Amino acid sequence: MFNHLLSLLIWLPIVGAVPVLLAGAARPNVARWLALLFMVLTFVVSLFLLPQYDATQGGMQLVESHLWIASLNVHYGLAVDGISVALILLTTIVGILVVIGAWEVIQNKTHQYMAAMLVLEGLMIGVFCATDALLFYVFFEAMLIPMFILIGIWGGPRRVYATLKFFIYTFLGSIFMLIALLYLYHKAGTFDLRTLAALPLTFTEQAWIFFAFLLAFAIKVPMVPVHTWLPDAHVEAPTGGSVVLAAVMLKVGTYGMLRFILPIVPDAGAHFTWVVVLLSLVAIVYIGYVALVQEDMKKLVAYSSVAHMGFVTLGIFIAFMLARELGDVDTARLGMQGAMVQMISHGFVSGAMFTCIGVMYDRLHTRLIKDYGGLINVMPWFGFFYVLFAMANCGLPGTSGFVGEFMVILASFKASPWIALFAAFTLIIGAGYTLWLVKRVLWGEIHNPHVAEMKDISGRETLVLGAFAALVLALGIWPEPLIHLMDSSVTQLVQQLAIHKI
Amino acid sequence: MPTFNDILVLLPEFYLVAAACVLLLADAFMKPEQRWSLHWLSIVVLLMAGFLVIAGQPDVTVTAFGDMFIRDQTSEILKVFALLCTVLVFIYARPYLLDRKQFVGEFYTLMIFATIGVMLLVSAGNLVMIYLGLELLTLSSYALVALNRDSPLSSESAIKYFVLGALSSGMLLYGMSMVYGATGTLDLAQLHAAVPQSAMPHLLVFGLIFMLVGIAFKLGAAPFHMWIPDVYQGASTPVTTFIASTSKLAAFGMAWRLLETGLGDLSQHWQPMLAVIAVLSMAIGNLVAIVQTNLKRMLAYSTISHMGYLLMGLVNAGPEGYSAAMFYAISYALMSTVAFGVILALARAGFECEEIADLKGLNQRSPWFAALMALAMFSLAGVPPLFGFYAKYLVLQAAIDAHMLWLALAGAVFAIIGLYYYLHVVKVMYFDKAEEGGADQSAPDMSMRVVLSLNALALLVLGVYWGPLLGWCRHSFGLG
């Protein structure tokens, strides 16, 4: 089993989608329990990654490689390093919570919803394991189909617009990545990522490929100015869709940067670092201000996601600056580590925030901030969780949000105090929009009579929010295991940064 | 004198001609209540022909009748898929024809004759043979389009098809005559050898241009695409399915025989011309498809764009490119049989299911057919992990290998534009509310349901396990 652990992880949920689908519309409960069963099984299998993966050694482990298309030398190649393991665990945990979260909420075509979630889960795990660029691309693109369906069927009133925009926008970015990959294949004769990393490329080639990759991943992350699909998709998506989108799918973008831009086009990456750093700072500061004025809660959290993902891209590319220009590998490592921790942390925090909004939406069927107010009077337990996640969202020490952002700011200070200054703005702006949101939703008098009738969270909702809360706190108080898990992989990535390919 | 060996090489074709004549006679003398057996007989006849093709497959390329006829691996693969697609058309067509009282023997015999034309065309070793195969295919197709006599739309499209088809055949023939004048031979292999030594290179290029017009017309590539939308919409859906699947395999076979086997040495001339035709087809097909409300018409414009992608493979002018184009032709044929098959499955007496709006809310009424159609649409759009993606990937690779990065980029841009109208169909089926009078679960025919499901699932299976098919395609062009 351990030889095919990664394949098992990918295919278990995808195959599990078949019986869930067969349960049919008439037996939603069977579909729910089956979906939960497969999600839990996948999670249990993913736990085996921890003992199987040797974190002290680093590098790609649990390698699976079969010839997929012999005549083209395309491999079904899977392997994981510490970063992948962390992201896979994030995916499997979020998968369970999403199924529990949708338990009573999704009444219409439950079986299709659950099946789409399972397929999506398998494909996301596939993205985090693939070591063959074509295989990566297949998983990367295939993810769009279940998400397209999820938003389109179970979404809000403008779901069709949002889901088409989401699909076409993402497809737009990735097809140029495909052209870049085909060009690399034309040169190297293989899609194996390690061979591509060793492929010498001129600067012009690297620059074009860099921008093709950047477009694909920047749309996925999303970075300013190609972030506009995200607020629409988030607002219209069902709660579960929003959670998966924010918690895992956005990470696929930054993960792709680590796997493609860093090793394959390091010189172009170093040369154009300022582009990404600038865009990240714009995301952190400007999008923070945009979030401040939102009237729709989901939109606010969506924009805050863009701002927080700005820290991930900043951390990754500040490492370029540090390792290449200043030769400061240790600080580069710190920045990269911060980015990784931020990725995982944002997964939990944003997932939790969207779950909270879902809880409120299920009761009042509105996402507008002005319709709420004084919620703490009727939903004290919900208020407790909501405040906790809000604190994590603005990066309070003791929560997971603090660790990553702090590390990135610290590292960027070494690169340039100005970058650190702008990045640190988030502490003010983030606190601004999050606390103001809390103030308007939770505190104050109840002015909407419907709010007075709202019931506090049920046992099922407590379970989901409690799990998120435990993870957020655990990461905030004791991030050491996570950092240790990814440490050697991060070190290797940073070492790769320093290699010149020209 | 033809030897016994010659006849043996052509055995599948001879058999099919004989069988088609027997079917025609049987139809004439059959009692009306026995006519249902014609359907199964035709399918058995075609399957037998497929068996003969596979069983008699030679290890090396063999020729017959003084190099008129070439039997090589490429032609074998194309023939097998052409026969398969015709079988699929028969299976999907029966309930449709029965509902409309159009279940006649001519439908079957004409289709079989057209398929014989395809088989001769892809095996042609001589310009005359190409023309003969082509005419057998197109004359049968004209009659098939006109088969629905009472429909003015059908008759109109048949006449359009005939007039334009005759014109393009004339162009092709004119081009062939010029090539003959410049080289003094009609034999493709000798032509290939004679081209570099020709004393009249300008005449050759002129001939080439006229032949390209003929090829582009048969493929339905812009700017010779005008007939496609009208014929697709006007012909009864089973005939459209045939034109969109079996015919396209033939068009690829013809283009490859003419351009590579015959005029391979002129590739520096036809490469840029084909590249322009490819970009035009992708642009016109994808842009005009967006505004269509009729599903068959939309699929017609989608065909035009797909032929642009297929040409992208041919532009490569090397074995890699040809195998990519052949893979594309096969994948397109299998995808279009699914798309039209679902239309046929949902059609019922008095309801054609031709409008995109007819599919509204299909997921509520018939989730299975909605899923099959969605598979076809995602595959046509080229979204992995479906079959259509790999076909697109291969032709893009072929363009890049031919150092035509701009062509690959154009293909990428138009793939994004094309994505919209395929997604629109999925949107209509999945996100819209069902309306009265729309498509519901019809298709009582069990064999059709099963085969159509298998056909659609093949798009998914071949999306994961496409290595063997690609291996055959590459092997037939001498690649490892």
Work out the minimum CA distance from A151 to partner chain B, whole angstroms: 9
- Please report which confidence band the pLDDT of residue B140 belongs to, taking 50, 70 and 90 as the band edges: very high
The stretch A98-117 carries a mean pLDDT of 90
* Global pTM value: 0.93
Task: Inform me whether the pLDDT recorded for B442 exceeds 70.
Answer: no
Q: Which of A486-490, B147-151, B222-226, B336-340 has the highest mean pLDDT?
A: B336-340
Helix/strand/coil (H, E, C) string of A206-232?
A: HHHHHHHHHHHHHHHCCCCCCCCHHHH
Task: Inform me whether the pLDDT recorded for A323 exceeds 60.
Answer: yes
Query: pLDDT digits over B407-428, tens only?
Result: 999 999 999 999 999 999 999 9
Query: pLDDT digits over A367-403, tens only?
Result: 888 888 888 888 889 999 999 999 999 888 888 888 8
Q: Which of residues 168-207 of A touch B (CB under 8 A)?
A: 168, 171-172, 175-176, 178-179, 182-183, 185-186
How far is the C-alpha of B88 from the C-alpha of B448, rounded, in Å?
9
Residues of chain B contacting residue A160, judged by C-beta atoms under 8 Å apart:
427, 431
The stretch A223-242 carries a mean pLDDT of 90
- Determine the pLDDT at residue B83: 95
pLDDT, greater one: A2 or B323: B323
What is the phi/psi pair of residue B75, to 5°? -65, -35
**CB-CB contact of B256 with B198 (8 Å):** no
- Nearest Cα residue in chain A from B416: A172
Question: What DSSP assignment string belongs to A21-66?
Answer: HHTTTT-HHHHHHHHHHHHHHHHHHHHTHHHHS-TTT-SSEEEEEE
Six-digit token string for B310: 């297929």
Which of A71, A188, A70, A69 lies closest to B479 in space, CA to CA? A71
Percent of chain A exceeding pLDDT 90 equals 52
- Please report which confidence band the pLDDT of residue B1 belongs to, taking 50, 70 and 90 as the band edges: low
Q: Could you check whether the bond before residue B385 is cis, i.e. omega within 30 degrees of 0?
A: yes
Q: Which of residues 120-159 of A touch B (CB under 8 A)?
A: 134, 137-138, 141-142, 144-145, 148-149, 152-153, 159
H and E: helices and strands count for chain A: 25, 2
Six-digit token string for A283: 């995301």
What is the phi/psi pair of residue A132, to 5°? -110, 130
- Determine the pLDDT at residue A123: 95
Query: pLDDT digits over A328-378, tens only?
Result: 888 888 999 999 999 999 999 999 999 999 999 988 888 888 888 888 888
Question: Tokens 């709660």 appear where?
Answer: A239
Separation of CA B241 from chain center: 9
Q: Do A142 and B467 touch (CB under 8 A)?
A: no
For chain B, the residue count is 480
Work out the minimum CA distance from A142 to partner chain B, whole angstroms: 5
The stretch A167-178 carries a mean pLDDT of 90
Six-digit token string for A483: 């950092």
How far is the C-alpha of A397 from the C-alpha of A402, rounded, in Å?
5
Residues of chain A contacting residue B397, judged by C-beta atoms under 8 Å apart:
182, 185-186
Alpha helix ranges (H) inside A368-443: 375-378, 380-393, 400-415, 417-441
Percent of chain A exceeding pLDDT 70 equals 100
Task: Inform me whether the pLDDT recorded for B443 exceeds 70.
Answer: no
User: Out of A6-20, A57-71, A215-229, which region has the weakest mean confidence (pLDDT)?
Assistant: A57-71
Question: Tokens 């086009």 appear where?
Answer: A265
- Other CB atoms within 10 Å distance of the CB of residue B188: 23
Q: Do A164 and B470 touch (CB under 8 A)?
A: no
Which of A141, A4, A140 lies closest to A78 in space, CA to CA? A4
Query: pLDDT digits over B310-320, tens only?
Result: 999 999 988 99
Assembly ipTM: 0.91
What is the phi/psi pair of residue A74, to 5°? -95, 130
